[in-house]
Amino acid sequence: MPQPPLVLIFSGLDPTGGAGIQADIEAIAAQGAHAATLVTALTVQDTQDVMGVEPVAAPFLRAQLETLLRDVRVAAIKIGLLGAASQIAVIERAIDESDAPVVLDPVLHAGGGAELADETLRRALLERLVPRARVVTPNGAEARRLAPHAKTLDDCGATLLARGAAHVLITGGDEPGDPSVNTWYAPGAPPRRFEWPRLPGPFHGAGCTLASAIAARLALGDDIATALARAQAYTHEALKRARRIGRGRAVPSRLP
């Protein structure tokens, strides 16, 4: 019987289905991997913004993780929205136990502007998860917040590498200009830019889609360059076919 590689997701539930766990499941399934889901928080939101976050208690998350790990083998871990800094110890446990590559999407605010991480959580992400990440995928605003002393986005990328991330992909979808530019930073290599024609957005759930697709590609055995290239191409196609499901931002079409 075929056994697809499994991507363990830590992510929030967005009732619109545009971002969060549903985005992750769809993007991972579309790559041919299997998503196992640990929900970090329920949210109150629409396609315009997030109005509330209700974290799942860390001991409950830990019980879910331990039960799962007794049963399955994890090939990659994707981390999205966290409900509280106390959940990070559970994630560290998952990383220690599985030794799988980690894709960290440091969700600090919603596209609509709502803050999704306080200072304690921001610092914990930077100090405890960035150093364990195979890839960190901030958008421009998140990269600036994670590296507040950096003058340019390239300085932000260098700062996150210095913090211990193996690779950094700063996405440019929310930055002005056409094309939209994503930049890959790796130790000892010059920044590599990926240019994508600007699509008529704005979008809801683009970052979750990209990070999950990268995690799935790594789980399927792609090297990092191939994973980043394929996941971006997949996300660009999903955004090209985006649909408007409400009054706010459009949602990527992640399934064929």
Contacts with ligand PLP, residue ranges (CB under 6 A): 11-12, 14, 19-20, 43, 45, 50, 80-81, 107, 110-111, 204-208
Q: Which is nearer to ligand PLP, 43 or 186 (CB)?
A: 43
SS3 call for 170: strand
Taking the C-alpha atoms of residue 75 and residue 98, their distance in angstroms, rounded to an integer, is: 8
Q: How far apart, in whole angstroms, are the C-alpha atoms of residue 113 and residue 165?
A: 26
> 23 or 147, CB closer to ligand PLP?
23
Smallest separation, CB 239 to ligand PLP (Å)? 11
Closest CA to 24 of 40, 42, 15, 36: 36
Nearer to ligand PLP, 55 or 101 (CB): 55
- Rounded Cα distance between 145 and 122, Å, is 8
Nearest to 239 by CA among 184, 182, 191, 192: 182
Please report which residue ranges of the chain form alpha helices under DSSP H. 20-31, 58-69, 88-98, 119-124, 140-146, 153-162, 206-219, 224-240
Rounded Cα–Cα distance for residues 104 and 48 (Å): 24
* Closer Cβ to ligand PLP, 130 or 186, answer by number: 130
Question: Between residues 46 and 75, which has the closer beta carbon with respect to ligand PLP?
Answer: 46
Residue (224 or 242) nearer to ligand PLP, CB: 242
Smallest distance from ligand PLP to CB 200, Å:
16
Q: Give yes or no for a contact between 135 and 166, defined as CB atoms under 8 angstroms apart.
A: yes
Closest distance of CB 110 from ligand PLP, Å? 4
CB of 99 to ligand PLP, least distance (A): 25
Q: Give the whole-angstrom CA distance, residue 219 versus residue 137.
A: 17
Of 111 and 186, the one with the shorter C-beta distance to ligand PLP is 111
Q: Which two tokens stand for residue 176?
A: 């002005």
Report CA 204 to chain centroid distance, whole Å: 13
Shortest CB 89 distance to ligand PLP, Å:
20
Q: How far is the CB of 245 from ligand PLP (least distance, A)?
A: 13
Smallest distance from ligand PLP to CB 223, Å: 25
Residue 112 phi, psi (nearest 5): -75, -10
